[in-house]
Structure 1
Amino acid sequence: MSAADHLRFSGAAAETQRGALEAIIRAQPVLMDVLEGLRSLALPDHLLVAGAIYNEVWNYLTSRPALTGVNDIDVFYFDASDTGWDAEDRVIKALDQRFAGLPVPVQVRNQARVHLWFEQKFGSPFSPLTSSAEMLGRYASKTHAVGARLDDDGRMAIVAPFGLDDLFSFRMVPNPVLDNRVSHTAKGLRAKTIWPELTLIPWPE
Structure 2
Amino acid sequence: MRLLQTENDLISLIAADDWMMNVLEAVEKVHLPDCWVCAGFIRSKVWDYIYEKEDRTPVADIDVIYYDSSNLTEEKEKHYEQELLKICKDEPWSVKNQARMHVINGSNPYHSSLDGISHFPEIATAIGIKLTNGRLQVAAPYGIHQLSAGIIEPTPFFLENKERYVIYRQRITSKQWHLRWPKLEINLQ
Q: Is the 8 A contact 2:126 2:140 kept in 1?
A: yes
Tell me how far apart the structure 2 counterparts of residues 195 and 86 of structure 1 sit (CA, whole Å).
36
Tell me how far apart the structure 1 counterparts of residues 56 and 93 of structure 2 sit (CA, whole Å).
13
Alignment gaps of 5+ in structure 2: none
The TM-score with structure 2 as length reference comes to 0.88
Secondary structure in 2 matching 1:144: coil
Tell me how far apart the structure 2 counterparts of residues 59 and 106 of structure 1 sit (CA, whole Å).
21
Secondary structure in 1 matching 2:157: coil
1:193 aligned residue (171, 175, 179):
179
Q: Tell me which residue corresponds to 1:122.
A: none
The TM-score with structure 1 as length reference comes to 0.82
Pairwise CA distance, 1:182: 2.7
Pairwise CA distance, 1:25: 1.0
Counterpart amino acid of 1:193?
L
2:151 aligned residue (168, 171, 183):
171
Identity of matched residues, %:
28
Secondary structure in 2 matching 1:177: helix
2:167 aligned residue (183, 189, 201):
183
Q: Is the 8 A contact 2:65 2:96 kept in 1?
A: yes
Q: Tell me which residue corresponds to 1:107.
A: 94
**Bigger Rg over Cα:** 1
Q: Is the 8 A contact 2:131 2:137 kept in 1?
A: yes
Tell me how far apart the structure 1 counterparts of residues 77 and 62 of structure 2 sit (CA, whole Å).
17
2:60 aligned residue (51, 54, 71):
71
Pairwise CA distance, 1:183: 3.2
Secondary structure in 1 matching 2:64: strand
Pairwise CA distance, 1:195: 0.4
Counterpart amino acid of 2:177?
A
Secondary structure in 2 matching 1:112: coil
Secondary structure in 1 matching 2:172: helix
Q: Does 1:42 align with 2:52?
A: no
Q: Is the 8 A contact 1:92 1:108 kept in 2?
A: yes
Tell me how far apart the structure 2 counterparts of residues 76 and 166 of structure 1 sit (CA, whole Å).
22
Counterpart amino acid of 1:166?
Q
Secondary structure in 2 matching 1:187: helix
1:24-173 mapped onto 2 (5 Å cutoff): 24-102=13-91, 105-116=92-103, 118=104, 125-152=106-133, 154-173=134-153
In structure 2, relative to structure 1, the CA distance for the partners of 1:191 and 1:22 (3 Å cut) is: same
Q: Is the 8 A contact 1:52 1:67 kept in 2?
A: no
Q: Tell me which residue corresponds to 1:202.
A: 188
Q: Which moved more, 1:50-59 or 1:106-115?
A: 106-115
Tell me how far apart the structure 2 counterparts of residues 95 and 107 of structure 1 sit (CA, whole Å).
10
* Deviating 4+ runs (over 4 angstroms): none
Alignment gaps of 5+ in structure 1: 120-124
**Residue deviations 1:134-153, cap 9 Å, x none?**
1111112112111001112x
In structure 2, relative to structure 1, the CA distance for the partners of 1:32 and 1:192 (3 Å cut) is: same
**Residue deviations 1:181-205, cap 9 Å, x none?**
23322333411111011000123xx
Counterpart amino acid of 2:168?
H
